[in-house]
């Protein structure tokens, strides 16, 4: 199901990503939730929730990368 606020995101997201990255995750997840309602629109046998999480992580990784310190940092352009 879609997330209302960043406080509702899974612990692994809230505990690891900076606030801006969490906002990206939230928006991407909710958008994917709407876009991939129909199973035929998803890859293989991936669930609705799994697909939405994959899309959200991909969106975060466009703007953030995990550093050698195991923390997420904005991608340098």
Which CATH number belongs to the domain containing residue 16 in this structure? Answer: 1.10.1740.70
Whole-number Å distance between alpha carbons of 36 and 6: 21
Q: Is residue 43 part of a domain?
A: no
According to the model, what pLDDT value does residue 77 have? 74
In the prediction, which pLDDT does 43 show? 85
pLDDT at site 1: 86
pLDDT tens digit string along 22-76? 999 999 999 999 999 988 888 888 999 999 999 999 999 999 999 999 999 999 8
Residue 31 included in any domain: yes
Q: Helix 19-35 and helix 48-63: axis angle, to 10°?
A: 140
- How many folded domains does the chain comprise? 1
Q: Has residue 7 got a pLDDT over 90?
A: yes
How high is the pLDDT of residue 55? 97
* Domain housing 28: 1-38+62-77
């Amino acid at each position: 199901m879609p997330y209302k606020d960043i406080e509702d995101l899974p612990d692994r997201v809230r505990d690891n990503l900076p606030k801006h990255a969490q906002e990206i995750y939230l928006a991407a997840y909710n958008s994917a939730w709407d876009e991939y309602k129909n199973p035929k629109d998803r890859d293989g046998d991936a669930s609705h929730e799994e697909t939405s999480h994959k899309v959200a992580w991909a969106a975060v990784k466009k703007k953030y990368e995990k550093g050698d310190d195991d923390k997420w940092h904005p991608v340098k352009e």
